[in-house]
Chain A
Amino acid sequence: MNNKVIKSVGIDIGTSTTKLMMSDLTLGRVSSQFALPHFDIIERKVTYVSEIISTPLINEEEIDLTQLVAWLEKEYLQAGLTISDIQSGAVIITGETAIKKNADALIHYLSERAGDFVVAIAGASLEAVLAGRGSGSYEHSMKSKGIVANIDIGGGTANVVLFQQGKILETITFHVGGRLIEINPSGKVLSISPSIRPWLFSKNLQLEKGRLLSLTDLTKISTALAVDMLDCLAGKRSIHSLDLLVHSSSCEALPRIDEVMISGGVGQLTLAGPPSSIEEAAKYNDFGPLLATSINQKLIDYHFQVIKPLQTSRATVIGAGMQTTKISGATISIQANRLPLRNIPVIKISLSVEEIERNLLIGKEMFGSNERLPFAIGLSGSVYLTYEKMKDLSLVIGTLYHKYFPRSEILVIVCENDMAKALGQALQLQFAFDVICIDQINIGHGDYIDIGEPLTETIVPVVVKTLAFRGESNENKNNFA
């Protein structure tokens, strides 16, 4: 097979800005002619980037869908692409925008209209990872001995991901963003985000709408914000002690960070000099430039080595457009007419026997309402499977699946090891339901997975959403309702 090019889109709808990018992902064979076929994305190339626009809002609580769609249509036209050209990609809704009233509806609406296999993603943790991949931190960590943190600071949140040698260690998100406090050029406070209020209160930095602030007043706030966040990243303060500022975290304590990259809109502003007047500071009608300046000035006091990012404002959108799609193994079992499948929860089962039935029951409990396809089974474990073991495994899984989900017409299995074709065939020969069995995809418990239509007869694009879309947006709602 000659190299195949997949057109991929990334759309990032953030607290303050929205952007889009198009890219070409080149699919190529990465195994020798004498081995089983194995394909991967061998080249990623940005082909188009949009202007960065202000995220259109109807009011503080609602995104302006009509305006957004009109803008997207214009951008597609300008990029010379139609929706049918786009085969993969992701729409990500980030920061504070994710808590807008119509965010959930919007993101699914868009993902279904942006192209063939464009997935919807949201969640602070995923956002942090995508920004880190888009900014160049991930690549940098491959060449570095130490732990690299990418701090992506947008309008509403600072999403931090820690990489070591290309592995994701932890993520943490702060209520730190350039648009949390909006001001006009005379220093009058236009609005204060509810997410920052408890922290301001605790710091005795009471603000109210309409109050006039000096450059010094504002700098005091931005400096305190920068110091608290950096103290937490440097391990000087515990995550727990800063729970008013921490939005979410994957851990209780962070490992020691050696290098940092700062991306996002505020990251872009750190590259400019400090504003000299309140007018200059308020040129975007928010305190973003001041936050950037404070971070820049305070960073010197910490042990971190600061690395220049390759991308700043567009880090997340580039990550979303270029890094979300994975390629399955090329020896798999699929029924093409069943694809694409979107947003399937994953129940992970390791190859130890007690777990199979227990986990299927857990899955029934959680997702049993969907009788047609309740969940996908993730098979982990690097045990070498003989034919006999594989046959037994297929019999157990198939029989139990049929027992608990008698109405299901389809079984989806995602294996980490290269075994999907053998396992899928064995299941197909023994059971009546359709089988989608793919491999060489790493997934975890609680992940959601999208499986696209085949790119060739034997390869499917896959997007693994490492933190559950629904789960996290619910959590957001609980926090801020």
Chain B
Amino acid sequence: MKTKITLLNKTYQFSNLKEILAKANEEKSGDQLAGIAAKDAQERLAARHLLADLTLNDIRNNPVLAPEEDEVSRVIENSINEKNYQSIANWTVSDLRETLLSDTTTDIEITRLRKGLTSEMVAAVTKIMSNLDLIQAASKIEVITQCNFPIGYKGTLSGRAQPNHPTDSIQGIKASLYEALSYGIGDAVIGINPVIDNAESVKQILQMTKEEMDRFIIPTQNCVLAHVTTQMRAIKNGAPSDLLFQSLAGTESGNKAFGISVELLDEANDLIQKEGTSAGPNLWYFETGQGSELSSDAHHGIDQVTLEARCYGLAKKYHPFIVNTVVGFIGPEYLYNSKQVIRAGLEDHFMGKLQGLPMGVDVCYTNHMKADQNDMENLAILLGSAGVNFLIGVPMADDCMLNYQSTSFHDIASVRSVLGLRPAPYFEKWLEKMGIMENGKLTERAGDPTIFM
């Protein structure tokens, strides 16, 4: 494998693939914090030139984290279809980029390609793609999944209703849920982040959301984003959960910090298949986000884009209904400003889609990042153009429980309106029945939560 490159008269020597991958990244404060980022713009470009010229074979043969040492590596390695891989093994990363962007490469062709790609190859090509490249390539890929009802069709944009409350008040959660539904949001999932991580509390929230879904015959699915073991206990106690949720990391040790392992996920998967309340076949909701491995000191010197791609490699094993990258939640030490958040959002969406995942993005920021609501609106429109499956809907974008800002119900309605996107088909029919939407447009009645009282 080539590790040395001379650009004009300057020579750059890298020690291994891991270093090339890290230094080829767009500037991210997380890579700088980890001490693996390019030291200047030219070194970054040197790494990127070298990376563009490496073959997929080079990448597979030089694992950033050996399968013997890490179960996530093993899951990714085991998922490869050897025939498909062999047909592209000699492609350079540049070839892969140009193929993905070529007019003649269709979604069907990408489906075939994907079977031969490892997460590291996906990360590699992402590093040599511009923002518009990421949008263009991702927009070709349609990933349709079904829990109770299918979402992800081209021309649609779904929303997660995220009616969180600072003390898990059932009434308070319900109030924000009504507001979400009245704006046509909630087709991806009604998903609550609980404050209290215990089975009884989780069960109560699941029961309330299920009752509301039954009362108004809402074509969607419910979920409470507690730790997977808490949800398992709640389900065993009879809680009506359509989806299982878990946060994922791109390394075994990162997952250990989350209190999970592949074995635990397998066990949970068995449970939801047997005792979940939904039609399926897709019964998981995963969340990821660049920087989480570094924050738990489980990054093994690997850059955060590559680690993020590996999360998707692990997610794929469980055929999730939705995957959400919480792109700006983690803080400025990983993504410093809006430029980095926007880049990461587009990268994650593309990397997930290329690996066949139903990607949504929590377009968000915390108050100590150099970003504001305008930046989120920009990224939301970019992702809408890229064909993102869903965005997160929070009342006026301000999550009063998690203390960060995301996208609002208004924002999702606006992205739909500007780009001519519709809610998921069954949900749109329901909105019409409720008098909230007509011909893809909100009616006079929309925005009034009391219609559900």
Contact, CB under 8 Å: A43 / B200: yes
A 26-72 contacts with B by CB, 8 A: 26, 28-33, 35, 42-43
Q: How far is the CB of B290 from chain A (nearest CB, A)?
A: 25
A 174-219 contacts with B by CB, 8 A: none
A98 to B127, CA, bound (A): 82
Q: How far is the CB of A238 from chain B (nearest CB, A)?
A: 32
A30 to B201, CA, bound (A): 8
Question: Number of A-B pairs whose CB atoms are under 8 Å?
Answer: 21
**Residue B196 contacts which of A26, A30, A43 (CB distance < 8 angstroms)?**
A30
B211 to A, closest residue via Cβ: A143
A 341-378 contacts with B by CB, 8 A: none
For chain B, the bracket of interface size reads under 10
Interface residue? A389 (CB, 8 A):
no
Q: How far is the CB of B209 from chain A (nearest CB, A)?
A: 14
A34 to B, closest residue via Cβ: B195
Contact, CB under 8 Å: B200 / A31: no
**Residue A28 contacts which of B167, B195, B200 (CB distance < 8 angstroms)?**
B200
A31 to B401, CA, bound (A): 13
A33 to B196, CA, bound (A): 8
Interface residue? B197 (CB, 8 A):
yes
Q: How far is the CB of B404 from chain A (nearest CB, A)?
A: 16
Interface residue? A403 (CB, 8 A):
no
Contact, CB under 8 Å: B196 / A31: yes
Q: How far is the CB of A163 from chain B (nearest CB, A)?
A: 15
Contacts of B196 in A (CB 8 A): 29-32
Contacts of A29 in B (CB 8 A): 196, 198
Contact, CB under 8 Å: A31 / B198: no
Contact, CB under 8 Å: B453 / A32: no
B 192-212 contacts with A by CB, 8 A: 195-198, 200-201
Contacts of A32 in B (CB 8 A): 195-197
Q: How far is the CB of B178 from chain A (nearest CB, A)?
A: 13
Proximity string of chain B (96-111) to chain A, C-beta cutoff 8 Å, 1 when within and 0 when not: 0000000000000000
Interface residue? A145 (CB, 8 A):
yes
A166 to B, closest residue via Cβ: B171
A288 to B243, CA, bound (A): 52
B 410-438 contacts with A by CB, 8 A: none
Q: How far is the CB of A33 from chain B (nearest CB, A)?
A: 8
A33 to B197, CA, bound (A): 9
Contact, CB under 8 Å: B200 / A42: yes
Q: How far is the CB of A147 from chain B (nearest CB, A)?
A: 15
Q: How far is the CB of A98 from chain B (nearest CB, A)?
A: 36
Q: How far is the CB of B271 from chain A (nearest CB, A)?
A: 22
Contacts of A145 in B (CB 8 A): 453
Contact, CB under 8 Å: A28 / B198: yes
Contacts of B200 in A (CB 8 A): 3, 26, 28, 42-43
A3 to B, closest residue via Cβ: B200
A33 to B, closest residue via Cβ: B197
B contact residues vs A (CB 8 Å cutoff): 167-168, 195-198, 200-201, 453
Listed from nearest, the 4 A-B pairs whose CB atoms lie closest are A32-B195, A42-B200, A32-B196, A28-B200
A-B contact pairs, 20 of them (CB 8 A): A3-B200, A26-B200, A28-B198, A28-B200, A29-B196, A29-B198, A30-B168, A30-B196, A30-B201, A31-B167, A31-B195, A31-B196, A32-B195, A32-B196, A32-B197, A33-B197, A35-B195, A42-B200, A42-B201, A43-B200
A28-B198, A28-B200, A32-B196 given. 9 additional CB < 8 A pairs? A3-B200, A29-B198, A30-B168, A30-B201, A31-B167, A31-B195, A32-B197, A33-B197, A43-B200
